[in-house]
Amino acid sequence: MRNSNLAYSLDSHALEEKRRQQERHENKIGVTPPKREGNFAVILLLGLLVLTALGILVMSKAEVSITSSKINEKTVLLEKAKSENRRLQSNLDNLYTLTKIEEFATTELGLEKIKDSQVFYPSINVGKLSEVVERKSSDPIVVAEDLFNEAVEYLGFR
């Protein structure tokens, strides 16, 4: 039978609830969680992976720095070579001026500059430039002799 007193039933209900909570709390404290054997190995593996990644990152940064310094050195050398090239080209341009060539011709080669009085312009007779020669005779011996003479003159023996 149940008690008809409502206050008693609420108190007993609250006490029962309190007792259950206490038992749950004691069970939580006394019970150890199950051991996970693979956790240490996984953590160790992940740590090694992270350290490896950091090592690779540091090495790549160092390699980039070394390569960058090499590029800078080569750029400086290139600029020096370009400057030297410009200087040499300027010297070469100065060597081949008209006054330098005239000076070289007079001092080294012993040549003299031509004077206006030394210039001679040949005159050409503009008249008849070609002459038609008529055959003197139709005799075969005379014709053969003329041909022979023309051939000798053409070949330059006369």
pLDDT, tens digit, 9 for 90 and up, residues 7-22:
555 577 777 888 888 8
Mean pLDDT over 84-102 rounds to: 88
pLDDT over 90 (residue 157): no
CB 9 within 8 A of CB 3: yes
Looking at the domain assignment, is residue 95 inside a domain?
A: yes
Looking at the domain assignment, is residue 29 inside a domain?
A: no
Number of domains, the chain: 1
Looking at the domain assignment, is residue 58 inside a domain?
A: yes
Query: Counting Cβ atoms within 10 Å, is residue 35 exposed (0-12), middle (13-18) or buried (19+)?
Result: exposed
Looking at the domain assignment, is residue 19 inside a domain?
A: no
Looking at the domain assignment, is residue 100 inside a domain?
A: yes
Looking at the domain assignment, is residue 53 inside a domain?
A: yes
Q: Please give the model's pTM, rounded to 2 decimal places.
A: 0.37
The conformation of residue 97, written as its DSSP 8-state character, comes to S
The conformation of residue 117, written as its DSSP 8-state character, comes to G
pLDDT over 90 (residue 133): no
Looking at the domain assignment, is residue 10 inside a domain?
A: no
Residue 78: enclosing H or E segment and its boundaries?
helix 38-95
CB 111 within 8 A of CB 105: yes
Looking at the domain assignment, is residue 149 inside a domain?
A: no
What is the domain extent for residue 85? 49-109
